[in-house]
Structure 1
Amino acid sequence: MVATPIAATSRYIPPGITHYYWVPSIANYQSPTRAELNAGTDLTGEISAVSGFATSSDQQDTPDLGSRFVGKIPGRITADDSSVTMYASSNSADARTLMPRDAAGFIAIFPEGDIPGQKMDIFAVKVTSVPKSRDVENPASMTFQYAITRVPAENVTIP
């Protein structure tokens, strides 16, 4: 007998589907309320690029004298350096006022959209810097760089 195949997915591309919110306060980020998410700001329409917002786990060798084989165990979990690049406004009325350097809050990522019952990821963050692009040919932008301050809440059910 052969193994049961995995169910086919409904594939998509992120533009027009994925949403990013800046949420200044969540009491329990492992289980946010709808009111807390609604109090946030949807950044999606001003984002030109995103980097990071992923976790990985180190692997630790576990050698022993009973074998030449060296096994491994999961080690520490880390988060990638993370940033969101957003467009700048010609009158300074943009995300700089929402997320200045040292602002603490949460980035809520809705990969398949803000649809109750589906999954989202929440990253507790602190803005470390907001460098501005000095490119003379492309739209003005800023890259919000974040330190991820706690273990991310991954695959949380959207309320």
Structure 2
Amino acid sequence: MATPIQASTRYYRRGVTKVLWVPTIANLQAPTRAELDAGTELADEVSAMSGWQTTSGTVPTPALGSRFTPTVPGEITAADSSLTFWASKTADDVRILLVREAVGNVVWMDEGDVPDQTMDIFPVSVMSQAKVRELDGASQIMAQFAITREPAENVTIPAAAGG
């Protein structure tokens, strides 16, 4: 009998997941705690998110000797991605931080900022700050992002300084 997969410890994302805006990370595969701490924690103002995942395409590899066409892994792409934030009546909100064409990194710590857990790092450029206008909803700003390089996935979160 095959060995069963490790049972997951399931969790509810809200109140756990951290999302950071980090202007500079020298090595996406090994960010330092100082680089992460220089970022801005966004989770308390995020009301919605979309995208933030990679997908892989396939390339067909037909052979004359078979009617079956096998495939091999191909291109890696990232979905169009956005974060929606609550807007402030004073305009002192995400619009000051994530200006159009700002370059940086969106860091996802899905299970929280826990050393030795993993995070995903998306190098991005801010494309827009769309104002979400609805009759009966609270005011929001949707920041749309271009993912500019291959994201670093499942990167180990470094320990806190001195810890």
Deviations 1:121-148 (A, max 9, x none): 0000000111101112111001100000
> Does residue 25 of the first structure (1) align with residue 27 of the second (2)?
no
Instruction: Output one character per residue of 1:69-119: Cα deviation in whole Å (capped at 9) or x when no partner.
Output: 110011110000000000000101101110100000000000000001100
Q: Which residue of 1 aligns with 2:84?
A: 85
Give the structure 1 partner of residue 161 of structure 2: none
Q: Secondary structure at the match of 2:136?
A: coil
Kindly provide the amino acid, as one letter, of the partner of residue 122 in structure 2. F
Q: Which residue of 2 aligns with 1:94?
A: 93
Q: Which runs of 5+ in 2 are unaligned?
A: 159-163
1:7-156 aligned at under 5 Å gives the runs: 7-156=6-155
Distance 1:93 1:86 in 2: 12
Give the whole-Å Cα distance in 1 for the aligned partners of 2:138 and 2:3. Answer: 50
Q: Secondary structure at the match of 2:131?
A: coil
User: What residue identity is the alignment partner of 1:135?
Assistant: E
What's the offset of the Cα at 1:28?
A: 1.1
The Cα shift of 1:57 comes to 0.7
Alpha-carbon distance in 2 for matches of 1:30, 1:79: 18
Structure 2 CA distance for aligned equivalents of residues 134 and 73 of structure 1 = 44
| Number of residues of Structure 1 aligned to a counterpart in Structure 2 | 158
SS of the aligned residue for 2:56 comes to strand
Q: CA RMSD in A?
A: 0.6
Give the match's secondary structure for 1:131. strand
Question: Structure 1: 5+ residue runs without aligned partners?
Answer: none
TM-score, with length taken from structure 2: 0.95
Letter in 2 for 1:43: L
Distance 1:98 1:29 in 2: 21
Normalised TM-score (structure 1): 0.98
SS at match of 2:34: helix
